[in-house]
Every structure is written in C-alpha cells, then in structure tokens.
C-alpha cells in the first residue's frame, strides 16, 4: 500500500477569502431533525407515575380519548367546548405535566394550523351574517363575484371561527394529554384491545420504532456533510444533494425493512401477531370511564 505524499505532509493554512456558511434549507433541516430527536427522547422519558392519568389503564385512556374526540366534533356550543378544555387543563395539572410546555405544544400548533381556516371563516364573503366590524370596500371589478360591496367580519363568522378554534385546541390538548401520560408501548397495546387489527398495530409500533432510527440516520448524514463543508453551494447543488440523500435514505429504509422481516421470521413470525396482554381493569379505571361517559353525554346533549 503506497500512501500519497501529500497525505503525509503537514496541511498548512491557506487563505480562501471570505467563505460564509449561508443558512440554507439543509442547515434548517439538520436543526429540525436534531430538535425532533431531542423532543422524541424527551417525550419518551418515563412519565411521572403518581399523576392521575398515569395511574389509569391505557385502554381506558385511549377509549376515553376516542369518545371525547367524537363528543367534541359533535358539540357546537362554545361554553361546552371551553368547559371540556378547562377540564382537560385541570386533568393535565393533576397529572403533574409541565403546564408551560403543555400549553406551548397545544396552543402553538393550533394557532398555526387553524388560522388558514379560521380567518377566512370570519369574513362575510365566506360566512354571511350581521356585520360587526367593517374592514374595507371591495373594488368594483370583483363585485359581480361577491354578495356584498364591503368586506366585513360577521357575527356568525366569528362564532363559527371561535367554535372551530376551541374545538381544535381541545382535541389537540386531549390527545397530547393522553400521549404524555401513557408510555408508547402501552398506548399501542391498548389499540389492540380496542379491536384495531393486530397487524395494523404491529405496523404502527414498528413505524414508531424505526422512525427514530431513520431520523437519527438522516441527522448523521447531515452532520457528516457539515463536517466537510467549508462553504455553502448554490441552491441548485444543495437541492440535488438533498434529493440524492432522500433517495439514499429511502433505499436504506427498504433494506432495513427487509432485514427486520427476516429477523421476525427467524423468531417464528408467520404473518399474524401475538402481543403481550394488558392486565385486568381495576375499579378506578371503571370509575374514570363512568365519569367520562357523563361528560361526553352532557357535552353532546347540551
């Protein structure tokens, strides 16, 4: 083996002028994947065990969540939806969740994702009704398209938007509450108990497991590139690189899937799936289910 001479010589500093690492979408993607990994590990930390919901059987929590989501989608009264939301907040407090973080992960996404629907909903062009706030006169050229010459916020629109927003907030809060008080393996086991096909649950479990591995792999690819990058390329070459890596990670995930299947076959898997059973329900679980049934019925009736 002959080592090239330049490899054995000392590498001197060479001035390349000003080379700046611009913030490109690749840098942002690397930061996002790193953040996802740290969040993922945080969410997967064993939740405190002495909170209210942590003591309940996961089946009860999953069934309750399902019923609550149905009730919230059927309820059209803002005070009832707000009442449920307050109850969810109170439960998260009793379950000893970090309330600040909990509010951030529920309020933030609800605002971001509901605004594109909520804002147009308030306008008279989308929801006719009694105007409560004048915004602007519409140009003559488009009047033939609109029922009114003015753009206003309507009473009905505002109520509909508020209903939509509070409903989305309550739904996300309920889901986060259950997720943050139930270890993932118990959440998956309870899905089987709710008669969701075992194979579908197995796929969910494995998706969850390997999502982490592939994100870690993606993050390492970004870091390997970063360690050898002294200046940012143009947008075209950045896009080409990213597309190439996406293809590589896809191929890698196909290979991983294939290998995992052989590992499962090796241990007796034949296409069905026998999972560990959950323990029997306790009296407290039934009591919680009863309380929730009352809340759900009341929210639908009122």
Q: Which residues bind another protein (CB under 8 A)?
A: 41, 44, 46, 183-185, 188, 205-206, 208-210, 212-213, 216, 256, 259-260, 262-270, 272-277
CB of 32 to another protein, least distance (A): 18
Token pair recorded at residue 15? 């001035």
CB of 44 to another protein, least distance (A): 6
Degrees, nearest 5: CA angle 189-191-193: 75
Q: Please check whether residue 165 is in contact with residue 116, taking contact to mean a CB–CB distance below 8 angstroms.
A: no
Phi and psi at residue 170, to the nearest 5°: -65, -40
Residue closer to another protein by CB (options 236, 267) is 267
CB of 252 to another protein, least distance (A): 12
Residue closer to another protein by CB (options 188, 222) is 188
CB of 42 to another protein, least distance (A): 12
Helix (H) or strand (E) holding 152: strand 150-154
CB of 193 to another protein, least distance (A): 13
Distance CA 129, CA 148 (A): 11
Residue closer to another protein by CB (options 78, 217) is 217
Residue closer to another protein by CB (options 78, 214) is 214
Q: Please check whether residue 287 is in contact with residue 66, taking contact to mean a CB–CB distance below 8 angstroms.
A: no
Residue closer to another protein by CB (options 1, 136) is 1
CB of 189 to another protein, least distance (A): 8
Distance CA 86, CA 94 (A): 12
Distance CA 218, CA 29 (A): 10
Residue closer to another protein by CB (options 82, 221) is 221
Phi and psi at residue 138, to the nearest 5°: -80, 145
């Amino acid at each position: 083996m002959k080592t090239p001479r330049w490899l054995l010589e000392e590498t001197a500093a060479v001035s390349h002028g000003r080379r700046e690492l611009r913030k490109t979408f690749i840098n942002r993607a690397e930061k996002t994947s790193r953040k996802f990994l740290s969040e993922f590990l945080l969410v997967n930390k064993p939740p405190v065990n002495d909170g209210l919901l942590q003591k309940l059987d996961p089946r009860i929590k999953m069934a309750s969540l399902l019923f609550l989501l149905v009730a919230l989608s059927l309820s059209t009264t803002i005070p009832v939806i707000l009442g449920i939301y307050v109850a969810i907040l109170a439960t998260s407090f009793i379950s000893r969740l970090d309330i600040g973080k909990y509010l951030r992960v529920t309020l933030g996404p609800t605002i971001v994702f509901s605004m594109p629907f909520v804002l147009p909903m308030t306008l008279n062009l989308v929801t006719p009704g009694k105007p409560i706030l004048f915004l602007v006169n519409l140009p003559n050229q488009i009047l033939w398209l609109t029922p009114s010459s003015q753009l206003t916020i309507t009473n009905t629109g505002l109520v509909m938007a508020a209903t939509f927003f509070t409903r989305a907030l309550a739904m996300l809060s309920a889901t986060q509450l259950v997720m943050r008080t139930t270890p993932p393996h118990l959440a998956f086991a309870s899905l089987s108990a709710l008669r969701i096909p075992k194979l579908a649950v197995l796929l969910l479990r494995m998706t969850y497991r390997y999502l982490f591995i592939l994100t870690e792999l993606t993050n390492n690819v970004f870091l390997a590139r970063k360690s050898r990058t002294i200046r940012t390329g143009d947008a075209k070459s950045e896009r080409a690189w990213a597309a190439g890596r996406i293809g590589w990670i896809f191929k890698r995930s196909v290979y991983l899937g294939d290998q995992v299947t052989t590992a499962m076959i090796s241990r007796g898997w034949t296409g069905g799936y026998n999972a560990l059973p959950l323990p029997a329900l306790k009296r407290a679980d039934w009591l919680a289910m009863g309380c929730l049934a009352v809340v759900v019925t009341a929210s639908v009736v009122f």
